[in-house]
Structure 1
Amino acid sequence: MDRLFPAACLFAALLTGCAQHTPKQAAPPLRVGVAEAAVDSVPNRMSFIGYLASNFDAVIQPRVNGYLSSKQYGNGMPVRRGQLLFTIDPDQLSTSMLAAEAELESARAQALEARNNYDRAVPLARIDAISQSQLDQYTAQWKAAEASVRSAEQSLRNARMNVGYTELRSPIDGIIEHTAAHVGDYVGPGTQFSVLTTVSNIDTLTVDVAIPMSQYLRYAGDRTSIYDNEGLLSDIRLVLADGSRYPLGGIYDYTRKDVSSTTGTLVVVVMFPNPDETLKPGQFARVEASVGPVRPRVVVPQQAVSQTQDIASVWVVEADSTVHYRRVTPGDTYGAMWCIDEGLDRGERVVVAGQQKLHDGAKVIPENPTARRTEQAAAAEQAGKRLEKR
């Protein structure tokens, strides 16, 4: 028994030594899907949040004072140009017009008398029957009477206009707001109802597009004036609150004169036609537009880019079929692709499927998923043809 124990120990030691020197088998290379980074002409697509506003508003203000006698429209309803909106009691103004007419007739009569006196004085002055100073007096009276006639005529025109101002009509087509004034209220300049309502044009609606100055300077190119941004935006589209896309495209209108001191943005106003009146002022809107000229960008499929917090990365397949982790600076998305601003060059291969089991320096077997699917589809088509022949 004592002889067997050392032999057993020696045998166990030999087994342990053999196990330690047995080479560990390397893991087989992983099959991964890859895609090649390409260069494409990609627009600088941006999205902006805003609200629709009317193209312009016409303020309805009474020009004369008086008591409101009627209101001829429904609050919030469409009105047409020339449509009667309000009437102001014209009685007091009509009385003023009649008085102006009487003053004009009196001035004309006085002017006629002064003219006759002048006509009689002229031949008397020629024969020295009256002095030159008397003739001058007759001449002055005649000229003053004629001036009084012109003044009375102007007073009558003003009185007639004031009577016409008792009818307030819409200057434009649009949607009218409600009014705080009621029939019987005293309205006009200097009263609490100096403004009665507003008519908003809705044939065309506008949206303020706020572009950060950093991006504006990046995409503006060689523009000579920051106030003239015609052509800066293209393919302007409106997305409504429910996610639907408005069928009509927008156009550039103008650039507001100030850069916001709080947000550091340049505000560009764009317009959207509204012929069917389906859009309403105050409505939420998201505007999508291409900013600046189209330029070449490095693009890869979106599934190739991994994002963790603020870090974006890709797995790059080298020529020797090893993969390496690389941080990149992503830009905008473009369809199913992602623009890479920094960290990747054209022609480099990136992993698009199977990233979960990778580690830096691992060997892989790169496969093109698109080509593989094409081969599988072709094989299935051939198999279907053979079955048809049978």
Structure 2
Amino acid sequence: MKRRGFIISSALVLSGLLCACSDSGNNQAGGAGVPAAAAQQAAPVGVVTLKKDTFPVTTILPGRAEAFQTADIRPQVSGIIREIAFREGSEVKKGDLLYQIEDAPYVATVEQAKAAIAKAEASVPSAQSNFDRYQRLVGSGATQIEFETAKTTLLQAHAEVESAKATLASAQIDLDHTKIVAPFDGVIDETAYNVGNVVAANQTAALTTIRQLDPIYVSLTESSTNLLRLRDALASGTVRGEGADVAFRLILEDGKEYAQKGKLDMSKQIVSETTGTFIIRVLFPNPDLVILPGMYVRATVELGAEVGYALPQLATSRDATGRLTAQFISADGKVETRVFENASPSNNSWLVTDGVKDGDQLIVSGLQSIAPGMPVTPVPMKINESGVVVAGEQAAAGNAQKPAAQ
């Protein structure tokens, strides 16, 4: 009985000690947690102050480069290729010799035609003299039939001369065609035939191909729906455009902007029956042959101008429904998410007309470390011409190369 009482008493003492330790720990934890919950640090974020202005309305269209001219080179006379005078893949000028076909048979034909002319011309004086004699004697010793015969003989002599000259001209053309020359300036492909190969006049297989690459065409595609929407905007005055004088700027496959500007080629503007896209052909100068046929490019087109606010693309995103969103600083210094139903592309920005007012601060850097409702401290920033965030003083000083930390 004494042993059982001792065990119960020990258990009560141990429970009391555990309760005391638990209360002490709770009091210490509560005292340390009060200051941490009371103060939340405001994160610094880069901002730009928005102001209403007139901005260009642009669109980016995908496209493929096409040669300005293409010619498949085929022989016009038959023979053996004696010489190939070009280097494959090189530039050639109009009139440059490409292939030389063995010309000895054609030279002989030309000489034969020249001899035929000389023979025909030799018979003309005799026929002319005979005609003149019968013309004087007609009615006084010569019959009319003899006169007519002499006249016919003279005419035939002249005709034979003209026929021989035509044969010579044809033979000379064939001789000239033994030299195959470039029809225009361009870049020549590899040759499909070699020296010693026999070729035939107007054969199906081409000897090689020449492409003129300066200037060069770029065929762009745009949705016909967007085309109609643009026309409505131009008609209503919402967008002010310059018509056919719009300039096209090209973005190459490596992301760099092409130095030359293109002009609309009015000869090809059609809607594809299979895809429903509007095909636009643009002509670009290509003096350094930077653009090659088949190359994928993107063209930025300035369609007009619109009054609104420009939101840099790097500061925007899309929600699950595809609507444009951006983070702003509210009046109480907290992060505020705004959604824009309508936005038009404008170079490196989105152009909006609703949901923004002059003086609003758009967050452009530090976006990864903030959330809606979080207090933030604004740090003035600028966006340079390349769409990169830089410190405000850097942009003012002209040093806009170093991106701001995100």
With structure 2 as the length reference, what TM-score do the two structures score? 0.68
Corresponding residue of 1:155: 167
SS at match of 1:130: coil
* Contact 2:221 2:278 (8 Å CA) reproduced: yes
Amino acid at match of 1:78: E
C-alpha separation in 2, matches of 1:301 and 1:123: 103
Q: 1:287 aligns with which of 284, 290, 299?
A: 299
C-alpha separation in 1, matches of 2:109 and 2:312: 81
* Contact 2:269 2:280 (8 Å CA) reproduced: no
Q: 1:85 aligns with which of 98, 101, 116?
A: 98
Corresponding residue of 1:177: 189
Is the aligned partner of 1:339 residue 2:359? no
Question: Shift in Å at residue 273 of structure 1?
Answer: 2.0
Q: 1:197 aligns with which of 192, 199, 208?
A: 208
* Contact 1:316 1:348 (8 Å CA) reproduced: no
Is the aligned partner of 1:73 residue 2:100? no
Question: Shift in Å at residue 164 of structure 1?
Answer: 1.4
Question: Shift in Å at residue 66 of structure 1?
Answer: 1.7
* Contact 1:79 1:173 (8 Å CA) reproduced: yes
C-alpha separation in 1, matches of 2:359 and 2:180: 72
Corresponding residue of 1:381: none
Is the aligned partner of 1:54 residue 2:67? yes
Corresponding residue of 2:371: 356
1:123-138 correspondence runs (5 A):
123-127=136-140, 129-138=141-150
C-alpha separation in 2, matches of 1:158 and 1:174: 30
- Residue by residue over 1:280-308, the C-alpha shift from the partner in whole angstroms, topping out at 9 and shown as x without a partner, is 33333222221x22122344466875532
* Contact 1:35 1:301 (8 Å CA) reproduced: no
Corresponding residue of 2:249: 237
Corresponding residue of 2:178: 166
RMSD over aligned Cα atoms? 3.8
Is the aligned partner of 1:209 residue 2:224? no
C-alpha separation in 2, matches of 1:106 and 1:97: 14
- Residue by residue over 1:92-136, the C-alpha shift from the partner in whole angstroms, topping out at 9 and shown as x without a partner, is 222222222222222222333321211111111042x12223212
C-alpha separation in 2, matches of 1:303 and 1:163: 67
Gaps of 5+ in 2: 1-37, 236-241, 382-391, 394-406
- Residue by residue over 1:68-96, the C-alpha shift from the partner in whole angstroms, topping out at 9 and shown as x without a partner, is 12111121112223221111111222222
Deviates more, 1:110-119 or 1:250-259: 250-259
Corresponding residue of 1:114: 127
SS at match of 1:179: coil
Gaps of 5+ in 1: 1-26, 223-227, 359-363, 378-390
SS at match of 2:260: coil
Distance of aligned partners of 1:150 and 1:255 in 2 relative to their CA distance in 1, 3 Å threshold: closer
Distance of aligned partners of 1:54 and 1:229 in 2 relative to their CA distance in 1, 3 Å threshold: farther
* Contact 1:35 1:300 (8 Å CA) reproduced: no
Corresponding residue of 1:15: none
C-alpha separation in 1, matches of 2:89 and 2:214: 16
Question: Shift in Å at residue 159 of structure 1?
Answer: 0.6
Q: 1:276 aligns with which of 288, 297, 304?
A: 288
SS at match of 1:246: strand
Question: Shift in Å at residue 348 of structure 1?
Answer: 9.0
Corresponding residue of 2:23: none
Corresponding residue of 1:266: 278
C-alpha separation in 2, matches of 1:304 and 1:179: 53
Distance of aligned partners of 1:107 and 1:213 in 2 relative to their CA distance in 1, 3 Å threshold: same
Corresponding residue of 2:260: 248
Sequence identity (%): 25
C-alpha separation in 1, matches of 2:295 and 2:379: 45
With structure 1 as the length reference, what TM-score do the two structures score? 0.71
Amino acid at match of 1:164: D
C-alpha separation in 2, matches of 1:90 and 1:313: 74
- Residue by residue over 1:143-175, the C-alpha shift from the partner in whole angstroms, topping out at 9 and shown as x without a partner, is 122122111111111111211111112232221
SS at match of 1:48: strand
C-alpha separation in 1, matches of 2:142 and 2:159: 25
* Contact 2:58 2:304 (8 Å CA) reproduced: no
Q: Count residues in correspondence.
A: 331
SS at match of 1:280: coil
SS at match of 2:261: coil
Corresponding residue of 2:230: 219
SS at match of 1:295: strand
* Contact 1:330 1:338 (8 Å CA) reproduced: no
Distance of aligned partners of 1:240 and 1:170 in 2 relative to their CA distance in 1, 3 Å threshold: same
Corresponding residue of 1:387: none
Corresponding residue of 2:5: none
Distance of aligned partners of 1:216 and 1:132 in 2 relative to their CA distance in 1, 3 Å threshold: same
* Contact 1:97 1:156 (8 Å CA) reproduced: yes
* Contact 2:334 2:372 (8 Å CA) reproduced: no
